Structure 1
C-alpha cells in the first residue's frame, strides 16, 4: 500500500513539475521573442512614418501650387474687374467666398 501511495505522489509531483517546466519554457520563449517583435514593430512604424512624411511633402507642394494659382487667378480677375469699371461696365457681384478671399487672403 505504501508503494502505491508513493507512486501516486510521485506521479502527481512529476505532473506538476512538467506543467511548471512547460510554463517556464513558454515564459522564457516569450521573453526572448519580445525584443525581436519590438524590433519588427519599430521597423513597421519607421516605414509608416517615412511614407507619411513623403506623402505630406507631396501634399504640401500641391497645396502651395494651388495657392499660387489661386493668387494669380484672383489678381487676374481683379485686373479684369478694374478694366470693366474703367470702361463703365458694372461686373457681376463676386461670389461670397471670393469676396472673403479678397478681404482676408485665406
Structure 2
C-alpha cells in the first residue's frame, strides 16, 4: 500500500510541477510583454526628438535654397526688364531712322502686354 501512496504522491507532484510551470510561463510572458511596452514607450520621445531634428534641418535647407532661388529669380526679372527696355529703345530709334524692325516674338509681345 505504501507503494501506491508513493506513486500517487509522485503523480500529484508531477501535476503540481506542470501547473506551476504553466503559470510561470504565463507570468514570464506577460512580464516580458510589459517590459517591451515600457521600453518602447521610453524610446518614443528620443525617436520623436531625432525626427524633429531631421525635420528642422530639412526646413532650414529648403529655406536657404528657396532664398537663393528667389534671389536668382529677382535678378533674372531685372535683366529681362532691362533687355526689354533696351530693345524698345532700339526699336524706336530704328523707327525714327525709317527702318522697320522685325516683329517681336509672340512671347516678347505677351511680356510687353502683361509684364509676365
Under TM normalisation by the shorter chain, which class is it? Answer: over 0.9
What is residue 89 of structure 1 aligned with on the other side?
Answer: 99
Alpha-carbon separation, structure 1, partners of 2:63 and 2:50? 20
Which residue number in structure 2 is paired with residue 7 of structure 1? 17
| Shift, 1:63, TM fit | 0.3
Which whole-Å deviations, capped at 9, do the CAs of 1:57-104 have from their partners, x for residues lacking one? 111000000000000000000001111111111111111100000000
Whole-Å separation in 2 of the counterparts to 1:20 and 1:49: 43
RMSD: 0.6
Q: Distance in 2 between matches of 1:8 and 1:90?
A: 109
Equivalent in 8, 27, 45 of residue 17 of structure 1: 27
Q: Deviations over 1:4-27 (max 9, x none)?
A: 111111111111111111111110
1:46 aligns to what?
56
Q: Is 1:71 aligned to residue 81 of structure 2?
A: yes
Q: With structure 1 as the length reference, what TM-score do the two structures score?
A: 0.97
TM-score, normalised to structure 2, is 0.89
State how many pairs are aligned: 106
